[in-house]
C-alpha cells in the first residue's frame, strides 16, 4: 500500500467547501406538496440493503490492516470531486447516475472474478440525496458480483472521511 501523507489543510477546506456547495444544490431540490422530499427512486442510495453498507471506520480499518486482502475501492461520483480529494488508493469509475459512468464502471470490473470485494463510494452529498450510489450498486449486482459494499457517508467525503483523518489523496 502506498504511504499517504496527512491532507493539506487548504485542500481539506476546499473539499469541505465543495461538499457544502453540492449540499446547497440539494437543499433547493423539489419537495412534494407536504413539504417533504419526493420519494426516492428505486435506484437511490436507499435501495441499497443495510447489509451491503460499510461504515467509513470499517473501510479505513480494512485498508490499513496488514496482510488483509485489499478491496477494489471505486469512486462513482463526480470527476471534479475525485480530482480534488478521494480515498487514497481508490479509482475513479464515473458517475453512477449517468450512462457513461455505468459503462465505465462495467468496463473496469468486467474481467474481475465475481467474488472480488468491491467497495463503491460517492461522497458528493448526503446519503439520502446521492444520485450515484444506487445505480452503481445495482450495476455491479446485476453483473453478478457477490461481494459489493457501499460506503455509507451520511454527510459527504469531507465530513465522513477526510475530517476523521482517514487517508486522502488528490489528483487523477
User: Lowest-pLDDT range, 2-16, 86-100, 110-124, 151-165?
Assistant: 2-16
Give pLDDT, residue 29.
43
pLDDT in tens, 105-114: 999 999 999 9
Question: What is the average per-residue pLDDT within 136-141?
Answer: 97
Give pLDDT, residue 44.
79
Alpha-carbon distance of 145 to 153, in angstroms, equals 22
Q: Give the start-to-end residue ranges of the domains of the chain.
A: 41-169
> For residues 38 and 134, which has the higher predicted lDDT (pLDDT)?
134
Q: Which CATH superfamily is domain 41-169 in?
A: Rhodanese-like domain (3.40.250.10)
Give pLDDT, residue 15.
52
Angle at 129 between CA 22 and CA 61, to 5 degrees: 90
pLDDT in tens, 82-125: 999 999 999 999 999 999 999 999 999 999 999 999 999 999 98
Helices 99-109, 133-142: inter-axial angle, 10-degree rounding: 40
3-state secondary structure labels for all residues of the chain: CCCCCCCCHHHHHHHHHHHHHHHHHHHCCCECCCCCECCCCCCCHHHCCHHHEECHHHHHHHHHCCCCCCCEEEECCCHHHHHHCEECCCEECCCCCCHHHHHHHHHHHCCCCCCCEEEEECCCCCHHHCCCHHHHHHHHHHCCCCEEEEECCCCCHHHHCHHHCCCEECCC
Alpha-carbon distance of 88 to 79, in angstroms, equals 15
Give pLDDT, residue 8.
60
pLDDT in tens, 23-80: 444 444 444 444 444 444 556 788 999 999 999 999 999 999 987 788 999 999 999 9
Q: Is residue 149 predicted with pLDDT exceeding 60?
A: yes
Amino acid at each position: 500500500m502506498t504511504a499517504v501523507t496527512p491532507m493539506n489543510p487548504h485542500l481539506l477546506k476546499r473539499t469541505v467547501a465543495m461538499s457544502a456547495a453540492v449540499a446547497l444544490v440539494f437543499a433547493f431540490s423539489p419537495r412534494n406538496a407536504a413539504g417533504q422530499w419526493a420519494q426516492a427512486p428505486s435506484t437511490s442510495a436507499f435501495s441499497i440493503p443495510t447489509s451491503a453498507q460499510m461504515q467509513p471506520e470499517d473501510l479505513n480499518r480494512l485498508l490499513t490492516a496488514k496482510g488483509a486482502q485489499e478491496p477494489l475501492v471505486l469512486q462513482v461520483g463526480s470527476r471534479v470531486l475525485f480530482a480534488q480529494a478521494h480515498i487514497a488508493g481508490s479509482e475513479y469509475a464515473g458517475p453512477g447516475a449517468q450512462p457513461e459512468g455505468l459503462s465505465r464502471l462495467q468496463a473496469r470490473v468486467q474481467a474481475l472474478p465475481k467474488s472480488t470485494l468491491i467497495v463503491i463510494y460517492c461522497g458528493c452529498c448526503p446519503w439520502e440525496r446521492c444520485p450515484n450510489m444506487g445505480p452503481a450498486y445495482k450495476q455491479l449486482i446485476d453483473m453478478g458480483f457477490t461481494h459489493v459494499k457501499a460506503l455509507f457517508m451520511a454527510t459527504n467525503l469531507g465530513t465522513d472521511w477526510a475530517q476523521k483523518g482517514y487517508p486522502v489523496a488528490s489528483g487523477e
